[in-house]
Amino acid sequence: MTIKIAAMKIPYGGAKGGIKLDPSKYSEAEIERVMRRYTIELCKRGLLSPSLDVPAPDINTGPKHMAWIKDTY
């Protein structure tokens, strides 16, 4: 992920991580709750910060999901 984002000159980077779920089986409100809780857990473990790891959008994520992470952080 770091190399992919660096090649595109986008100011994101860090490790690859995610949540395994089929988004077609959940409502948008449920997905939002999962995303926000995932963000809280990353923060509690010290794995998310502007100087350490900034998540980048990837498969099945976009601006809406990144906004949920930003708001929760």
CATH fold for the domain made of 2-72: Rossmann fold (3.40.50)
Which pTM value belongs to this model? Answer: 0.77
Q: Which residues contact 12 (CB under 8 A, 6 or more apart)?
A: 5, 54, 55, 56
Q: DSSP labels for the chain?
A: -HHHHHHTT-S-BS--------GGGS-HHHHHHHHHHHHHHHHHTT--BTTTBB----TT--HHHHHHHHHH-
Residues 70, 65: Cα–Cα separation, whole Å: 9
- Residues acting as catalytic residues: 16
Q: What is the pLDDT of residues 22-65, one digit of tens each?
A: 999 999 999 999 999 999 999 999 888 877 777 777 778 889 99
